[in-house]
Structure 1
Amino acid sequence: MKFTVFTPTFNRKELLKKLYKSLQKQSYKDFEWLIVDDGSTDGTKEKVKEFLCEKKLDIKYYFKENGGKQRAYNFATEKANGELFICLDSDDEYVENGLETILKYWKKYEKNTDIAGMGYLSTYPNGEVIGSSFPEKEMISTQFKIYNKYRVKGDKGLMFRTEIIKKYKFPVFEDEKFITEAVVYNRICEKYKMVYVNEKIEIKEYQEDGLTAKYNNLLLRNPKGQALYHNEINSQKLTLKQKILNNAVYYKFCKVAGYKFRKIFQESKSKLFLILAIPIGEFMWKKVKL
């Protein structure tokens, strides 16, 4: 099997129905649809049973206790049978030749073991590109460089070799249900590169109650994961300004998480810049408290 299309879902019964119809229209058919239901109570299970009875797609459905997208993602990578792995949220869909277009480019790179996967453009339902396009029509880089060196903006669609994404699990904290996906992507880019193409493949329809809505509050409710993310960014090539600002934000989230200074300092991957950033971090922390 070529693709695993993974959809994490929580109380998105109607959106799943829309995505189900969209996947049926894909011009390339060799894929499984792996649905991980993160504790839905809106009849999602019954709706998926209807899909299964129709036998129009190869569907694998799993129900688990609500634990957030990162736990659902880790679970899905263990269950995936496809050679290539795609996360397609319940409010997303692909253009009808999406998988076919991905394969068209991927055939040029699939034997290059230094490349972990592919990135492509996401659009709003009206076709407008979310954020900005890549600087070249087709290029090789890393997720970190795309956003920090080339200043690309906005969400992008991503595909990974399943054998690689299986090795990079999302960190989980017992009392938190969210961590930015960039934690995993940055870890991958320490060893692998990605192919990026300026093709409109993914269509996103953001929901008012989705993860993207009220994003800052979401991060503050999950500070341990966010502190880890900013601490690990210190392993990337940063400018002086970026190092200070990043460590200030790291300090802020550590304080929100209730960490003592000893722990913050001992676990820091950039102790010098942490010390320099503390005044800014304290200001950020006090602003959060207010």
Structure 2
Amino acid sequence: MIPRLTIFTPTYNRAHTIQRTYESILRQDAKFLSQVEWLIVDDGSTDNTEELVRDWQNKQLPFSLHYIKQQNGGKHTAFNRAIQEARGDFFFTVDSDDWLTEGSVKKILKSKENITGEDSVCGIIALKCFPNGELIGRRYPDNYPLCSTRELELAGHGGERSLVFRTKIIKQYPFPVIPGERFCTECVVYDKIDANYKYFVSNDILTVCEYQSDGLTSNIISLMMRNAIGYKIYFAQRIDMATTTKERFSYAIRYWAFKLMKHDTQYNYQGTNKIFVAMCLPLGILSYLFYKMKN
């Protein structure tokens, strides 16, 4: 049977947490589990993740489980592999330290009529919560049935959220892969999708999110500086998306700061505000020095 939903889990040395992800999938409505594939892309784990997953594969599971192990390249490269391999109509990322809420698979599959009839709709944007049940961010307004991530951000609804994509659309938006860099912010992809599509907005909580002390967000400045070209790409594409001069100014300054960290000739700003961006170079140099001191 061809699955309707691909649940993608990228993992790296998370054998101690991915068990919860596995158990949360097993707890979903049995009527819908036969329509699910769980696609795990292991980004070169050195713990017992593979042994654990192989043990699950030997069981008679109510869903299909596919496991791919690759050389360590970062979560974004695992994502690229996953969108190549995904077979479901819908694609849902659940990190290996997160887990599904009860009934989330049913809610996603029941939303099919909201997202497949409109060519301009790329998927569902829903909510996450902490393990204690506290909502991450705020509930979405009822008058936002279709919206982009950027529009929600400007309305004060930024931050972590659950995103479900139509697989045929997300396959068109792989991450750039930069030699020597092992992280690329998801906004690089989401901003490009926003230029062409909207999401169906849902106040369902689909995912429970637990931040790890050694996770990607634990030391954000160091992470950004180690992956400067990826962040340069992000700030470059945000310049033309800015809705105010102040916002454009902020993105242009940080574009220069991260451009100065690694002297590459690719991924330079190619938008319609080149003179404005050039004028921001002096403050970009100061921003670059600030980041160097903070690190």
Q: TM-score range by the shorter chain?
A: over 0.9
Q: Identify the match of residue 90 of structure 2 among 60, 84, 89.
A: 84
Q: Identify the match of residue 162 of structure 2 among 144, 157, 170.
A: 157
Q: Identify the match of residue 209 of structure 2 among 204, 212, 219.
A: 204
Partner of 2:280, secondary structure, is helix
Shift of the 245–48 alpha-carbon distance from structure 1 to 2, 3 Å rule, reads same
CA apart distance, 1:237: 4.4
Partner of 2:175: 170
Partner of 1:205, secondary structure, is coil
Q: Equivalents in 2 of 1:251, 1:282: separation in Å?
A: 7
Q: Identify the match of residue 4 of structure 2 among 2, 5, 9.
A: 2
Tell me, yes or no, if the aligned pair for 1:268 and 1:274 is still in contact at 8 Å: no
Superposed, 1:182-201 pairs within 5 Å as 182-201=187-206
- Structure 1: tracts of 5 or more residues without a match: none
CA apart distance, 1:108: 2.6
Partner of 1:116: 122
User: Matched residue pairs, number?
Assistant: 286
Q: Is it true that 1:251 corresponds to 2:246 in the alignment? A: no
Q: Identify the match of residue 16 of structure 1 among 15, 18, 27.
A: 18
CA apart distance, 1:138: 5.2
Tell me, yes or no, if the aligned pair for 2:240 and 2:248 is still in contact at 8 Å: no
Partner of 1:34, secondary structure, is strand
Give the partner amino acid of 2:290. K
Give the partner amino acid of 1:14. H
Give the partner amino acid of 2:171. K
Q: Equivalents in 1 of 2:59, 2:104: separation in Å?
A: 23
Partner of 1:41: 46
Q: Which runs of 4+ in 1 moved over 4 A?
A: 263-266
CA RMSD after TM alignment: 1.7
Partner of 2:17, secondary structure, is helix
CA apart distance, 1:135: 2.6
Deviates more, 1:133-142 or 1:208-217: 133-142
Deviates more, 1:212-221 or 1:111-120: 212-221
Partner of 1:55, secondary structure, is coil
Superposed, 1:24-63 pairs within 5 Å as 24-27=26-29, 28-29=32-33, 30-56=35-61, 57-63=63-69
Partner of 1:69: 75
CA apart distance, 1:220: 1.1
Q: Identify the match of residue 230 of structure 2 among 201, 222, 225.
A: 225
Partner of 1:216: 221
CA apart distance, 1:266: 6.2
CA apart distance, 1:143: 1.3
Partner of 2:287, secondary structure, is helix
Partner of 1:13, secondary structure, is coil
Partner of 1:107, secondary structure, is helix
Q: Equivalents in 2 of 1:248, 1:108: separation in Å?
A: 40
Q: Equivalents in 1 of 2:125, 2:268: separation in Å?
A: 36
Partner of 1:128, secondary structure, is coil
Partner of 2:24, secondary structure, is helix
- Structure 2: tracts of 5 or more residues without a match: none
The normalised TM-score by structure 1 is 0.94
Partner of 2:76, secondary structure, is helix
CA apart distance, 1:169: 0.7
Q: Equivalents in 2 of 1:264, 1:78: separation in Å?
A: 25
Q: Equivalents in 2 of 1:252, 1:287: separation in Å?
A: 9
Q: Equivalents in 1 of 2:68, 2:138: separation in Å?
A: 35
Deviates more, 1:137-146 or 1:221-230: 137-146
Tell me, yes or no, if the aligned pair for 1:19 and 1:91 is still in contact at 8 Å: yes
Q: What fraction of aligned residue pairs are identical, expressed as a percent? A: 34
Spell out, residue by residue over 1:57-94, the C-alpha distance to the aligned partner (whole angstroms, 9 max, x if none): 31000111000011110001111010000111001111
Partner of 1:61, secondary structure, is strand
Q: Is it true that 1:271 corresponds to 2:274 in the alignment? A: yes
CA apart distance, 1:200: 1.5
